[in-house]
Amino acid sequence: MSAVEAIRSIVAKHGKLPVDVATLQDDADLYAAGLSSFASVQLMLAIEEHFDIEFPEDRLNRKTFSSIKAIAEVVTELSEDQQAA
C-alpha cells in the first residue's frame, strides 16, 4: 500500500468526515470537507502510530493536515529524516 493509500484509509477511519473519503481528491481540503479540530488530533495520532514517526511541534498545524496529499508530503519527509537520524 502506498503512503497516500494508507493515509486515505486512516482518514476514512479517524477523520469522522460527513462525506465518503473515496469521493475526495488527494488535494481536496479536508477541513472544508468537515474535518474537526478534535478529529484532526486523532488523525495525527493514528498517522504517527502507523508510520512510526513523530510530528515535530512546528508541523502540528492545520496546513499539515489540510489534504491527503499534504499529509503524505510531510509523512514522506519525516520518514526520511527520522530514519536518517
Partner 1 sequence: MQTSLLDRLFSAGLLIDTGVDGLYGRGGAFEDVIARFEALIGRHAPDATPEVIRFPPGMNRAHFEGSGYMKSFPQLAGTVHSFCGCELDHMNLLQCIAEGGDWTEGQKATDIVLTPAACYPLYPTIAKRGPLPEGGGLFDLQSYCFRHEPSKDPARMQLFRMREFVRIGTPDEVMAFREDWMERGAKLIEAVGLDVELDTANDPFFGRAGKMMGNSQREQKLKFELLIPVTSAANKTACLSFNYHQDHFGATWGLETADGEVAHTACVGFGLERIALALFAKHGLDTADWPADVRAALWG
Evaluate whether 80 touches 8 at the Cβ level (below 8 Å).
no
Number of Cβ atoms within 10 Å of the Cβ of 64: 19
Which residues lie below 8 Å from residue 47, measured CB to CB, with a gap of 6+?
A: 7, 10, 53, 55, 71, 75
- Kindly write out the interface string for residues 20-59 of this chain, putting x where it contacts partner 1 by CB under 8 A and - elsewhere: -----------------xx-xx--xx-----------x--
* Distance in Å, CB of 57 to partner 1, minimum: 5
Q: Which of 62, 80, 81, 82 binds partner 1 (CB under 8 A)?
A: 62
Residue numbers of the site for partner 1 (CB under 8 A)? 37-38, 40-41, 44-45, 57, 60-62
